[in-house]
Amino acid sequence: MTQKTANSAQPSIDSLASAYGTLPPVSVRSQRKPVSLPRLREMHQQGEKITMLTAYDATFAAVADAAGIECILVGDSLGMVCQGLTSTVGVSLETMRHHTECVANGLRRSQSTAWLIGDLPFGSYHESREQAFRSASVLMQAGAHMVKLEGGGWTTDIVRFLVERGIPVCAHLGLTPQTVHALGGYRVQGKTGESAALLKQHAHELQDAGAAMVVLEMVPAAVAAALTTELTRCATIGIGAGKDTAGQVLVLHDMLGINLGKMPRFVRNFMDDAGNVRGAMEAYVKAVKEGSFPVDALHAW
Ligand code: KIV
């Protein structure tokens, strides 16, 4: 059934987006293989950089997929960029469910191949592994292929519980924005020998528990590079963690240069030299794949 027949009352994502020159035709997109966990593992093992970008709605997600982004993260950063909050702490599971569903709908309608990751918000997995499973189920049923959760040590058991029950997990270490108040601000983590050793220990434990990916946010490039070599079954995805991670992630609004606050040092504004949003996303994909973004001297610690 074609998009038109299925949604005759409303314009398809295709007709809207191609009017703005943002999506290639369905016939081209449907030839691409879906990004799956085995495909991500293969990319990791072969040293092909993995690209990840946040998206919070159907159209941006479809455009990101068309630009060649492999992983779309419905991040709880939506609290800051969509809801105007000052941190991610106030984001609810219902809000994450809603945006995950919007993104999943957009990807489905545009016959996308991207891997969709839903972020578990603050308070939705902290009580027990059973609570974590219930919350993860909400995001998976909304269309996520994987869930992400923040923290190390206490999260290991939760990750194992989810993975054993068929939920792929992306961990998140270093600067974990949900604990910004405990950390005393958005600061680089793992700078001392002791904190770097703890971060590495947590990452190894998460790998052993079955986490397939780990986001490393704002950690020294040397620590992230060492971990990337050490972790053979868990792909490191850096944000402000230098150029040597297995992949990179950015917040959509940051890389489009429309951040409401101070632009983090680790960001590059890809709209500067691009004619449109899709062009900016394609430039990001190209720069990550060829290794020209990030530049350690400019974007890392
Ligand atoms: O919520 C988010 O967007 C994230 C990324 C910064 C990794 O967690």
Across 1-15, 202-216, 238-252, 268-282, least confident range: 1-15
Count of alpha carbons within 13 angstroms of residue 244, beta-carbon side: 16
Rounded distance between C-alpha atoms, residue 240 and residue 222, angstroms: 12
Give 33's pLDDT tier (boundaries 50, 70, 90). confident
Q: What tokens were used for 288?
A: 């990550």
| Residue ID of nearest Cα to ligand 1 atom 6 | 251
Which atom of ligand 1 lies closest to the CA of 249? 7
pTM: 0.92
Told to judge if 217 belongs to the known catalytic residues of this protein, a careful annotator would answer yes
Higher pLDDT: 261 or 236? It is 236
Give 238's pLDDT tier (boundaries 50, 70, 90). very high
176 Cα to the center of ligand 1, angstroms: 9
Give 148's pLDDT tier (boundaries 50, 70, 90). very high
The string of pLDDT tens digits covering residues 179-216 is: 999 999 999 999 999 999 999 999 999 999 999 999 99
Catalytic residue among 70, 150, 217, 282: 217
Q: What is the pLDDT of residue 132?
A: 98
What residues does 159 pair with on adjacent strands? none
The answer to whether the beta carbons of residues 35 and 114 sit under 8 Å apart is: yes
Which helix (H) or strand (E) segment is 59 a member of?
Answer: helix 58-66
Distances (CA, A) of 279 to 10, 207, 254: 27, 35, 15
Q: What is the pLDDT of residue 260?
A: 84
Count of CB atoms situated within 10 Å of the CB of 296: 15
The string of pLDDT tens digits covering residues 85-123 is: 999 999 999 999 999 999 999 999 999 999 999 999 999
